[in-house]
Amino acid sequence: MSDITRRYSNQQLADLFTRIADLLEIKGEVVYKILAYRKAADSLTNLGRDVMDVWREGKLTEIPGVGKAIAEKIDELITTGKLGFLQKLESEVPPGLVDLLQVPDLGPKKAALFWKQLGVTNLAELEAAARAGKLRDLPGMGEKSEARILAGIEALSRRTTRTPLGKAWPFAQELLKLIREAQGVQAVEIAGSLRRMRATVGDIDLLAAAADSGPAMQALLSHPQVTRVMSQGVAKASVEFENNLRAQLWVHPPERFGTALQYATGSKDHNVRLRELALKRGLSLSDQAFLREDGSELLCAKEEEVYQTLGLPWIPPELREDHGEIQAALAGELPQVISVEDILADLHTHSTWSDGKLSIREMAKAARARGLKILAITDHSASLGVAGGLSVDEIQAQRAEIDAVQSELGDSIRLLQGCEVEIRSDGALDFPDEVLASLDIVIAALHSGLRQPRQQVTERMLSAIRNPHVDIIAHPTGRMIPNREGADLDIEAVFRAAAERGVALEINAHPSRLDLDDVLARRAVQLGIPLTINTDAHSEYDFDMLPFGVATARRGWVRAADVINAWGTDQLLGWLSRRG
C-alpha cells in the first residue's frame, strides 16, 4: 500500500459510491453494476468500524458488497485523493444531473430523459424548461407531472443548509474524545443547538475546562480531517473539516465553566429570560460569571449552580427554547421528560423478510443485548415493492419463524409479529382486515403520494386511523431531513382522529426522519394521544439511533407515561390486546 494522502470517513465513501450509482443509472448502465455500487454504499454507511482501519489491515474485500473492483477504487481514493473511474464517468454524464435527483419523485430515468430530450444538465435548466412548459409533452409526463417538479424545485429552495443531527452528533463525539484526552482538560462538553438536540444544527460548539488552553486547542487543530483553520486565538479556535462540518472550541478556566456552558448552550431566548431573572436578584449574568452590584463576581464551576443561583432547578438542555420551561420551573411544574433508559420495547423494525439486513433471530438478539424486553418485527407489506414487501402467504410463513425464534430465546425477550402496512393512494390498506387481525401489532404508513393535495393526503391518513386494526401511524408526515418536506397534512384533523381512536403516533428515531418532530409531539401529548418512539431498525446498529428519537421527545416535553413502549410489558401487551 502507498502512504495515505487523504483520509476518508465511511460516509464520505458511501456518498461517493452513491453518486457513481446515480450517474451510472442516468447513463443507462446495466442494473447489476448500479446495484453493486449502491450495496457498497449501504455497507459502508452501516459499517460498525472505521473504514480506514479496515483499509490498513488490507481487509476491504471482507466488507459486504465490497469486491475486488470496489476495494481497488477505495484504495485509489485513499492513496491518490482521486478516482479515475468517477472522472471518466463525469466526462460522459453531466455531473449536475445528480442534483436533479434531489427533487422529490424525480429519479434517474427522468433525469436521463430530460438530459437526452431537452439537453437539461442542471437544476436551473430543469426549472427553466418546466416553466416554459417543455416537460409536459415528454413520454410519461404531463401537466400535473410538470407542476409537481416545479413544486419540488421550489421546496428545494426552502431546504435548510444546516447539518442533520445524525451527521453532526457522532462526529462531535469523536472530537469530545480527542479533546478530553488532552493534558489538563478537566471537562469538555458539546454546546449550542447540538446539545439542545435540534434536528439540524449549524457549527459544532465545544467547551473545555482547563487552566491552560494550549493542549485542548492543539488537540482540535491537529485533527487529521481539519482542512482549514478559520480562526485561532488563546482560548478559542474555529476549524473546518473534510466532511464540510465546522467546529468551534472555547477553553475556559474550570471555575468559570458552569456559566460558560450554560451561556453557550442557549438558546438565545432562554438566556434572555435567565438574565431577566438575574437582574431581579440584583445580579448580572454573562458567560463568565454572575456580577454583583458591588462589582464582585460569583463564579459557577458547574452549570447546575447557575440555575440554583436563580432559584431554579437544572433545566435539561433539550427544553431550553423559551417555550415555557422557565415559568414551569418556577412553578415547580417542569416535567420529568423521558430518557433512553425508559424505553423497554422497539415496535418498528425490519428483517430480511423485507428490506432489513438481519434475520429475525439476529434482530432479536441485537435487541435483547440492548436491554429491550419486547421486539416487534414489522416488515413492509406488498405494495412497497422497492422494499420487497410481504404477501399474505409470506405473512403466514413469517409467523412460523417468529414462533421458532421465540421458542429458542424463551422469556429473555418477547417477540411480536407486526407489519408496516402501506396506506394506498385511495386510503385503503394493503391487507384485508382478517390478515390485519391476525397480527400482534399493525403499523400504517405513507411512503408514496406525499405530494397529493392537502385534502386527499389527509383523507388517506384518516382512513388508516379509523381502521380498527391499526395501532400505530409510523413517521406521520413522511419528511426526510434534509431532502424532503413532509406531506401537507391537516395535522389537527389527524390528531383529532388519533385521539378519538386511541391510535399511537410514532416519533421515528432515524435522524433523517425524527417524525413526529418536537413541536407536533408536544401538541399530541396535550391532546392525550399515545406516542411511541421506535428506531425503524433495518440492522443491528440502527438500534443505536434510539437516543435521537428520545431527544426529539424530550424537546417536546414528553414523559415516559406518554410513550407506549416505555410502559411495562403487561401494560403494553394489555393495551394491544384491548385494541384487538
**Secondary structure (DSSP) of 418-439:** EEEEEB-TTS-BSS-HHHHHTS
Residue 531's pLDDT is 98
Tell me, what's the pLDDT at 368? Answer: 97
Q: Tell me the average pLDDT across 409-425.
A: 96
pLDDT band at 542 (very low <50, low <70, confident <90, very high): very high
pLDDT at 48 over 80: no
Buried b (16+ CB within 10 A) or exposed e, 275-285: bebbeeeebeb
Residue 8's pLDDT is: 82
CATH of 161-252, one of 3.40.50.300, 3.40.50.970, 3.30.460.10, 3.30.70.20: 3.30.460.10
In 286-439, the DSSP E strands lie at: 290-292, 297-298, 345-349, 374-377, 414-422
- Residue 119 clears pLDDT 50, i.e. is over it: yes
* pLDDT value of residue 32: 84
**30: confidence class by pLDDT, cuts 50, 70, 90:** confident
Question: Mean pLDDT over all residues of the chain?
Answer: 92
Q: What is the pLDDT of residue 449?
A: 87
Largest CA distance in the chain: 80
Q: What is the mean pLDDT of residues 405-424?
A: 97
pLDDT at 104 over 80: no
Residues paired with residue 563 on neighbouring β-strands, in sequence order: 531
Side-chain half-sphere exposure of 464, counting CA atoms within 13 A: 31
Residue 385 pLDDT > 70: no
For the cut 80, the answer to whether the pLDDT of residue 5 exceeds it is no
Task: Decide: 415 and 424 in contact? Cβ < 8 Å.
Answer: no
pLDDT band at 103 (very low <50, low <70, confident <90, very high): confident
Query: Mean pLDDT over residues 517-540, rounded?
Result: 96
d(CA 317, CA 303) in angstroms, rounded, equals 11
Greatest mean pLDDT among 19-28, 83-92, 161-170, 559-568 lies in 559-568
Per-residue pLDDT at 387: 64
* Alpha-carbon span 230 to 218, nearest angstrom: 14
Span 10-157: which CATH code? Answer: 1.10.150.110
pLDDT, one tens digit per residue, over 138-159 is 998 998 889 888 888 887 776 6
Give me the pLDDT at residue 1, please.
44
User: What's the CA dihedral at 529, 445, 44, 177 to 10 degrees?
Assistant: -10
Does residue 163 sit in helix, strand or coil?
strand
Output the nine-digit C-alpha cell for 339: 430518557
Q: pLDDT at residue 384 above 80? A: no
Distance of alpha carbon 344 from its chain centroid, rounded?
A: 21
Q: Contact at 8 Å (CB) between 217 and 233?
A: no
- 105 — pLDDT class (breaks 50, 70, 90): confident
Q: Residue 512: its pLDDT value, please?
A: 92
- Indicate the pTM of the whole model: 0.80
According to DSSP, residue 295 is labeled: S
Rounded CA separation 52/38 (Å) = 20
490 pLDDT higher than 70: yes
H or E stretch at 222: none
Task: Mention every residue, 6+ apart, whose C-beta is less than 8 A from residue 201.
Answer: 162, 163, 165, 168, 192, 193, 194
pLDDT tens across 176-211, in order? 999 999 999 999 999 999 999 999 998 999 999 999
Residue 217 clears pLDDT 90, i.e. is over it? yes
Spans of all domains in the chain: 10-157, 161-252, 265-334, 340-579
283-292 pLDDT per residue, tens: 999 999 999 9
Q: Are 178 and 219 in contact (CB under 8 A)?
A: yes
> For 340-579, CATH number?
3.20.20.140
Tell me how far CA of residue 114 lies from CA of 92, 125, 126, 129, 537, in angstroms: 16, 10, 8, 9, 36
3-state SS class at 284? strand
Report how far apart, in Å, the C-alpha atoms of 382 and of each of 388, 463, 513 are: 7, 19, 22
Element (H, E) at 143: helix 143-157
Average pLDDT over residues 561-579: 96
Q: Find, among 260, 410, 419, 302, the residue nearest to 353 by Cα.
A: 419
List, for residues 229-286, the tens digit of each pLDDT value.
999 998 999 999 988 899 999 999 999 999 999 999 999 999 999 999 999 999 999 9
What is the Cα–Cα distance from 361 to 401, expressed in whole angstroms?
A: 9
pLDDT band, very low/low/confident/very high, at 319 (cuts 50, 70, 90): very high
Catalogue the E-assigned strands of 311-462: 345-349, 374-377, 414-422, 441-445
Contacts of 179 (CB under 8 A, 6+ apart): 185, 188, 206, 208, 216, 219, 220, 249
Q: How far apart are CA 92 and CA 29, in angstroms?
A: 12
430-438 contacts: CB < 8 A, separation 24 or more? Answer: 430/381, 430/382, 430/383, 430/389, 431/381, 431/392, 431/395, 433/467, 433/468, 433/469, 435/392, 435/395, 436/467, 436/469, 436/470, 437/469, 437/580, 438/395, 438/399
Burial of 473 (0-12, 13-18, 19+ CB in 10 A): buried
Q: What band does 389 get if pLDDT is binned at 50, 70 and 90?
A: confident
Round to whole Å and give the CA distance between 230 and 249.
12
Going by C-alpha positions, the residue among 58, 74, 61, 57 that lies closest to residue 6 is: 74
Q: Residue 81 has what pLDDT?
A: 87
CATH class of domain segment(s) 265-334 = alpha beta
Nearest to 424 by CA among 386, 453, 377, 463: 463
Read off the pLDDT band of 2 (50, 70, 90): very low
Q: What is the DSSP string of 111-136?
A: HHHHHHHH---SHHHHHHHHHTT-ST
AA identity, residue 343? I
Mean pLDDT of the region 508-524: 95
